[in-house]
Structure 1
Amino acid sequence: MQYGGAVSVTRDFGPNLTLGLGVAAFSELEEVTVFPVLVVNWRITERLLLANPFRPGPAGPAGMELSYRIGGGWDVAAGAAYRSERFRLKDSGPFADGIGEYNSIPVWGRLSWSAVKRFNLDVYGGVMCNGKVSMDDRNGGRLTSDDYHPAPFLALAISSRF
């Protein structure tokens, strides 16, 4: 079972700038990961926003994204985040009951369309950079670890709020 959460404190520095700090902790199999959280919501201009991307996407709801509102319901953005995932391996095979882990930094571009206020269509393209994959035995001892080359990705996210 995996679980976790985050807590942060924010302060409004005006109608266009909110900054905050926090901490997040997540249980990932036999490890607990704790890291700082930076909260940013800065409307630089009427069309330009620097913020944490709390929307579904290939990097999840984290990281930092600079977005520009083109108009007519269209936005374009670029962002980056850090991703780490631990998971249990099958109970048979060369690493039976072991733990797999991968880490990477997804860097993406996004094109979004909002047909109506409650419906979004997002198309992402990007690259997973600085990737590393590791395998541990069932007791947590490191069996192997290897870096992997940058990997391109495409993603489509359709979301609705009601």
Structure 2
Amino acid sequence: MERSEMRSAIDELSLLAATVNHVPIKPFLALCNLVVQVLDKIGPTMTVLRQDIHHNIQRLENFHDNDPSIYWDVVEILKKEANEGNAKKGPTCSKAFVALKLVPDSKTLVNILKVEDEDDDTLKEEMQNLISLLMPVLEQNKDILKAYGLDKLKCT
């Protein structure tokens, strides 16, 4: 039976969650590759992000392949680059890994979306309103495309 990317991601994350102060490279890279597969499904609008993630995966894989017995863990790779003073110079594994900081945590995302002094409940209500208003517009757009036989067009 074929597993969804979501189910596969859950499996990989459960392997990573069991470790403390270590990030085993194989499950981490498997998870990253699942992200790339999801971006592929979304389509060509995600090409730049997909390529960036793919290059970062390759960088980590190449480092690991140089000596898998030492670099079985992302933390060991980061330590080596930091100790050598290379972590911030050029295209490094450290930069590839720290790129995860670009994804905000839930609290940060909520704070970005809220206006000053707005509470979480008001933001939630506004988001629900936006979604309820947006859904009919998206459905209408789909119907229009379908009416003209354009519903199977792919983005370029």
Query: Which category of TM-score, normalised to the shorter sequence, fits these structures?
Result: under 0.3
Bigger RCO of structures 1 and 2 (CA < 8 A, at least 6 apart): 2
Question: Structure 1-normalised TM-score?
Answer: 0.23
Considering fraction of residues, name the structure with more helix.
2
Higher Cα Rg, which structure? 2
Considering fraction of residues, name the structure with more strand.
1
